[in-house]
Amino acid sequence: MSFRMNLQNIDWSLYAIIDQEWLGGRDIQWVTKQIIQGGAGIIQYRNKVSEDKKCYQESKKIRVITQKYHIPFIINDRIDIALAVDTDGIHLGKDDLPLSVARKILGNNKIIGFSVRSYSDYQHAKYADYLGIGAIYPTKTKKNYPLTELKLIHEIRKKSSIPIVGIGGITMENLAPVIQSGVNGIAMISALLSSEDIKNTTLQFIKAINKAKKAESSN
C-alpha cells in the first residue's frame, strides 16, 4: 500500500521525529514502539551526526517496527537511505535536493515533505505532499533558529488543503494555538524523547491535541 495514495487516511495529529542525538543510548526499536503505542500516526528518522552505515542500520530497525504497525516512515534528508530501506517518504528543506529532482528519483508512490519558514519557502513547495512549518516556538533541537509566526499557517491554509504539521518548541502548554491555526497536527522531537516514559508522554500529547481540535471545531 502506498501511503502517498492515501494521504487523507494518515493520522497527522502527532508526527514523531526520532532524532539520533536525543536517543540517550536507548534502543531505537524500543523507542519507536513506545511512540507508536502512545498514538503517534507517523514516524520520521533524523540523523545529522552518524556515519552512513549507522544511519542505514538504524533506519532498517525503525522500518521493521513501522511496517508491523502500518505506520508511515519518513527519513530526513537522506534520499539514498530512503531508497535503500524503502521508506514511505522523505522530508527535505530548501537547502536540500530540489523537490522536483526528489520526485523523479523516488517516483510517484513516495511521500515528500518540505520544511517551510516563510511564504517564499511555500512558493517552492510545488512537489511537496505535506509541509512542516516552523519553528513556531524556541526549540532545543535547533538553537537560535528563526521563529515562524502562526499567521503564516493561516495564510497557507487559506490557499491550500495540503497536510500541515507545526514544529518547534511545542509543549502541552502551548500547543492549542498551533492546532487552532489550521494545522493537521504537530511534529515533536525533544518533548517526546526527553521523557522517561515516552509512551505515556505521547499518549498525553495525543489527548491534549484532540482536546484542542475539539475546542477549535466548536468555535
Active site residues: 46, 115, 142
Q: What is the pLDDT of residues 96-151, one digit of tens each?
A: 999 999 999 999 999 999 999 999 999 999 999 999 999 999 987 777 788 999 99
Q: How far is CA 105 from the centre of its chain?
A: 21
Torsion, CA 192, CA 198, CA 199, CA 205, rounded to 10: -30
pLDDT in tens, 72-93: 999 999 999 999 999 999 999 9
CATH topology of domain 11-218: TIM Barrel (3.20.20)
Average pLDDT over the chain, rounded to an integer: 95
| Residue type, position 203, single letter | L
pTM of the prediction?
A: 0.96
Residue 216: band (very low, low, confident or very high) from pLDDT cuts 50, 70, 90:
confident
